Amino acid sequence: MKPNILVARAVFPQVLTLLEQHFEVTSNQDDVLWTPAQLIAKLQGKQGAFTTGSQRIDAELLATCPELKICANMAVGYNNFDLDAMTAAGVLATNTPDVLTETTADFGFALIMAAARRMAESEHFLRAGLWNSWRYDMFAGSDVHGSTLGILGMGRIGQAIAKRGAHGFGMKVIYHNRSRLDAATEAACGAAYVSKQDLLQQADHLILVLPYSPEAYHTIGAAELAQMKPTATLVNIARGGIVDDAALAAALRQGVIAAAGLDVYEGEPKVHPDLLALPNVVLTPHIASATMPTRLAMAQLAADNLIGYLVHGKALTPLNPQVVKT
Ligand code: GLV
């Protein structure tokens, strides 16, 4: 008998077809946003779940889903998983690393450039019919090439951004991370390790690429923003909650820093109203990995994790490999 799985959100039809070859699939191609109680109801009798960042998998849910063996997240981040609770319940967690690294790094760079060169603000001005002459300082922003790029969080995506900055834009690249990279990796990235304080004070463009954890909550708040250059840009492609969005809005309004680019928000899809009202912040709806080839690769990897584990006993990218299939 085929195992039962739940695909919690809409997914590429070809990935659904693949899953249907191996599983009895309950899908959600209408992309209904289920409440936690609806998700629990849908998970009854399922051995596997194909999840995205919008399904919280915690102890309360796991207690009601004793047959569940694996949740395969279609995301590299997994802050929707309570990993300890999943491990305790014997439920394997998987994510989708590597396949989105370069695409996400491209987008991080796009936000740096859009914020620094005031692209969204000037485009709105043009569309509003306000452009009637050239002026020497019209939408003058800050240079990206040759400037200092600061990276907070130097995993795969941070390193891919560093390479773009150092090798493509001739930037001085500095980074801060929980642990320092080895010398060969630093050299390949063209990046130098600095303290968090030096990073804040020296970066012309600071990009956040650290994973979310409770300790990362409000890593950038009013005190950190006050240490940055008044000409600096801040970009967050990591997770909402790493930046204190209210403090950032105040800093942007008061000229504490010049501009920001955000793809993630505290409490998304809600966006802090103060940010929505500001011209000097570029706001995108959590799309850093959103190209068709990359999203397909992510979905395929999540599906391969489900097939690997439930059919062949081994997942490709497990987060808690200490869980063994029973
Ligand atoms: C997107 O935010 C991801 O974690 O893949």
CATH fold group of domain 101-283: Rossmann fold (3.40.50)
Is 135 annotated as catalytic? no
Is 268 annotated as catalytic? yes
Distance separating alpha carbons of residues 154 and 177, to the nearest angstrom: 6
pLDDT of residue 205: 98
- Are 255 and 227 in contact by the 8 Å Cβ rule? The answer is no
Distance separating alpha carbons of residues 4 and 20, to the nearest angstrom: 10
Instruction: For residue 78, give the ligand 1 atom closest to its CA.
Output: 4
Strand order from edge to edge, sheet including 92-94:
24-26, 4-7, 48-51, 70-73, 92-94
The CA-based dihedral angle spanning residues 122, 126, 131, 133, taken in that order and rounded to the nearest 10 degrees: 60
Q: How far is the CA of 96 from the centre of ligand 1 (A)?
A: 8
pTM: 0.96
pLDDT of residue 326: 72
If one residue of 52, 76, 268, 298 were mutated to test the ligand 1 pocket, choosing by the most ligand atoms within 8 A of its CB, it would be 76
Residues making up the chain, counted from first to last: 326
What residues line ligand 1, using a CB cutoff of 6 Å?
75-77, 100, 289
- Are 47 and 70 in contact by the 8 Å Cβ rule? The answer is yes
The dihedrals phi and psi of 95, each to the nearest 5 degrees, come to -130, -170
DSSP summary character for residue 211 = P
Pick the CATH number of 4-99+292-325 from 3.40.50.720, 3.10.580.10, 3.40.190.10, 3.10.180.10: 3.40.50.720
One fold for 4-99+292-325 and 101-283: yes
Q: How far is the CA of 216 from the centre of ligand 1 (A)?
A: 16
Ordered per-residue pLDDT tens for the chain, 326 residues: 899 999 999 999 999 999 999 999 999 999 999 999 999 999 999 999 999 999 999 999 999 999 999 999 999 999 999 999 999 999 999 999 999 999 999 999 999 999 999 999 999 999 999 999 999 999 999 999 999 999 999 999 999 999 999 999 999 999 999 999 999 999 999 999 999 999 999 999 999 999 999 999 999 999 999 999 999 999 999 999 999 999 999 999 999 999 999 999 999 999 999 999 999 999 999 999 999 999 999 999 999 999 999 999 999 999 999 998 77
Sorted by where each begins, the domain ranges of the chain are 4-99+292-325, 101-283
